[in-house]
């Protein structure tokens, strides 16, 4: 595929581009542009193609299969950590002194726990993100996965990633990519649209009311609504479950709890599952009303996806602590499983006042070229790289540094592709990041579901440090297994 990005002529690329744009618009592989509201009518305006690659990207099959194999282990790990109050307390109390957002979330968690958790069941729709790492002298097929982060709230692009794989298969079927050297059978399909909807349907069924609705908690003016709508349509068409969309502010304004059962009602509609596609960033809580909406949902009988405990487990500090000796073993007793999970870890270091944190701080001041500094934030655009780390560290107090961790930069193989953004093509040297979705449902006593849920590949130009599609750094891709 890398050769095609270089050798196809402009006419051939234009044919592929036109076909890709028509496919995207016909199949809902689209996003809203940054400003898409008609001021005169107040109605939503046009759409543009979701940013994608023209070609699937080669990816080692062994690395892919390993990521899929260990996802259920990560699903279980998230749940087990969420049940350990002492572990969460130790981490969150230290973060709360330097991170106001984490403090608000943790305070809300403590408030709900003190009142008594009404709904023991919990649904996790997670995504573990990896970059492949090649050691010197290794063949591409021997590359290893290294975890970038584990996302436990508002995991996105499950739908558009599935459609991007369909797009690549369509382009191959209709044009052969103008080459007789391509074997598209090595492009694995992703069932993440169906899997995510199926997970929500399982939680809805467990809730036990046929007339209740699943509630997707969304951001106002959501640009990525079409990724979400595919889940809504699949939930209705395949499972007969209706989904409603509400912002945190709308929950506060329109929501109420049944005095006896604590069932959540939005108007006259009972809510079976509160599925968060927002609520992960400070910008999702511009006023106290949004916090009121979150608290109302958390106090309710609705099954949360995720619970606040699951959301807290997704903090980068938790990822770093688990990498320390003996910490993962606190939750995973099987040594084989421990070895499988640890093999996916990269170097992770604290920036607190421990001896390890002070050593990491001093080392970063001397040489930060091979490091990334990460806060407890989701959504892309928050990390600090290279020489900027040294400048940032000089402005932070010892206490403030505790809000961050350091991670070894993973150096993936560089390949070539053609990116399609806003109808325009760009040939580029690129690197890719794999995400594997997981579906986990627990009733408070036992596991009901622990499954894989499809995959996502995001690709970005080598000049970009960040990897978020919604944040504008990357495009959606699919895998060609080799």
433 is in an annotated binding site: yes
User: Is 460 known to sit in a ligand binding site?
Assistant: yes
Q: Would the annotation count 251 as a binding residue?
A: no
Instruction: Please indicate if the annotation marks 375 as binding a ligand.
Output: yes
Query: Is 279 within any annotated ligand binding site?
Result: yes
Consult the annotation and say whether 378 binds a ligand.
yes
Is there a binding annotation on residue 142?
Answer: no
Confirm or deny that 154 is annotated as ligand binding. Answer: yes
Whether 129 contacts 147, CB under 8 Å: yes
Q: Which two tokens stand for residue 194?
A: 């169906």
Secondary structure in 3-state letters for the chain: CHHHHHHCCHHHHHHHHHHHHHHHHHHCCEECCCCCECCCCCCECCCEECCEECCCEEECHHHHHHHHHHHHHHHHHHHHHHCCHHHHHHHHHHHHCCCHHHHHHHHHHHHHHHHCCCCCCEEEEEEEEEEEECCCCCCHHHCEEEEEEEECCCCCCHHHHHHHHHHHHHHHHHHHHHCCCCCHHHCCCCCHHHHHHHHHHHHHHHHCCCCCEEEEECCCCCCCHHHHHHHHHHHHHHHCCCEEEECHHHHHHHEEECCCCCCEEECCEEEEEEEECCCCCHHHCCCHHHHHHHHHHHCCCCEEECCHHHHHHCCHHHHHHHHCCCCHHHCCCCHHHHHHHHCCCCCEEECCCCHHHHHHHHHHHHCCCCEEEEECCCCCCCCEECHHHHHHHHHCCHHHHCCEEEEECCCCCCEEEEEEECCEEEEEEEEEEEEEEEEEEECCCCEEEEEEEEEEEEEEECCCCCCCCCCCCCEEECEEEC
- Measured CA to CA, the distance from residue 412 to residue 464 in angstroms comes to 13
128 annotated ligand-binding residue = no
On the CB side of 207, CA atoms within 13 Å amount to 31
Report whether 158 belongs to an annotated binding site: no
Judge whether 316 is annotated as a binding position. Answer: yes
Joined tokens for residue 125? 């729709």
According to the annotation, is 127 in a ligand binding site? yes
Known binding residue 422? Answer is no
156 annotated to a ligand binding site: yes
The annotation status of 272 as a binding-site residue, yes or no, is no
Q: Is 421 annotated as a binding residue?
A: no
Residue 222 counted as an annotated binding residue: yes
At residue 442, φ and ψ (nearest 5 deg) are -130, 140
The reply, when asked if residue 151 is annotated as ligand binding, is yes
Is 382 labeled as ligand-binding?
A: yes
Please give the positions annotated as active site. Answer: 127, 149, 151, 156, 316, 374, 378-379, 458
- Binding residue per annotation — 141? no
Q: Check the annotation: does 228 bind a ligand.
A: yes
Residue 379, annotated ligand binder? Answer: yes
For the annotated binding site for Mg(2+), the residues are: 149, 151, 378
For the annotated binding site, the residues are: 127, 149, 151, 153-156, 222-224, 228, 277-280, 316, 374-383, 385, 407-410, 433, 458, 460, 466, 469-470
For the annotated binding site for substrate, the residues are: 127, 153-156, 222-224, 228, 277-280, 469-470
For the annotated binding site for ATP, the residues are: 149, 316, 374-383, 385, 407-410, 433, 458, 460, 466
């Amino acid at each position: 595929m890398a050769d095609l990005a270089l050798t196809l002529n402009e006419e051939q690329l234009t044919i592929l581009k036109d076909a890709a744009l028509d496919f995207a618009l016909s199949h809902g592989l689209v996003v809203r542009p940054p400003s898409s509201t008609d001021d005169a009518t107040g109605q939503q305006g046009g759409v543009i193609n979701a940013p994608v690659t023209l070609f699937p990207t080669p990816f080692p099959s062994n690395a892919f299969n390993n990521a899929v194999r260990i996802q259920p282990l990560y699903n279980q790990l998230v749940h087990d950590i969420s049940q350990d109050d002492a572990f969460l307390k130790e981490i969150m109390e230290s973060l709360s002194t330097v991170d106001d957002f984490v403090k608000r979330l943790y305070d809300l968690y403590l408030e709900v726990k003190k009142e008594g958790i009404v709904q023991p069941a919990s649904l996790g729709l997670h995504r573990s993100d990896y970059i492949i790492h090649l050691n010197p002298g290794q063949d591409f097929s021997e590359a290893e996965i290294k975890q970038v982060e584990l996302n436990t709230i508002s995991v996105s692009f499950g739908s558009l990633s599935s459609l991007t794989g369909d797009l690549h298969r369509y382009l191959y079927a209709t044009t052969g990519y103008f080459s007789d050297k391509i074997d598209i059978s090595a492009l694995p399909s992703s069932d993440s649209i169906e899997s995510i909807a199926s997970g929500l349907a399982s939680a809805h069924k467990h809730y036990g009311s046929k007339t209740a609705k699943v509630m997707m908690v969304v951001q106002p003016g959501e640009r990525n609504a079409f990724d979400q709508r595919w889940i809504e349509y699949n939930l209705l068409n395949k499972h007969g479950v209706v989904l409603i969309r509400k912002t945190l502010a709308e929950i506060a304004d329109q929501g109420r709890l049944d005095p006896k059962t604590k069932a959540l009602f939005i108007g006259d509609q009972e809510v079976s599952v509160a599925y968060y596609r927002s609520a992960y960033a400070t910008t999702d809580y511009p006023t106290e009303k949004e916090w009121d909406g979150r608290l109302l949902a958390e106090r309710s009988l609705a099954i949360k996806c995720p619970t606040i405990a699951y959301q807290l487990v997704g903090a980068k500090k938790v990822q770093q602590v688990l990498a320390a000796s003996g910490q993962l073993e606190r939750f995973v007793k099987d040594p084989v499983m421990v070895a499988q999970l640890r093999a996916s870890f990269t170097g992770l270091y604290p920036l607190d006042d421990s001896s390890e944190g002070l050593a990491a701080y001093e080392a970063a001041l001397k040489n930060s070229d091979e490091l990334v500094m990460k806060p407890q934030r989701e959504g892309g655009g928050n990390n600090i790289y290279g020489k900027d780390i040294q400048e940032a560290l000089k402005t932070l107090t010892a206490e403030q540094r505790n809000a961050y961790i350091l991670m070894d930069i993973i150096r993936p193989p560089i390949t070539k592709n053609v990116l399609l953004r806003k109808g325009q093509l760009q040939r580029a040297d690129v690197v890719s990041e794999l995400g594997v979705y997981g579906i986990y449902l627990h009733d408070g006593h036992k596991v009901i579901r622990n499954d894989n849920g499809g995959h996502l590949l995001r690709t970005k130009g080598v000049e970009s440090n960040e990897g978020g599609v919604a944040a504008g750094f990357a495009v959606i891709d699919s895998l060609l297994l080799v």
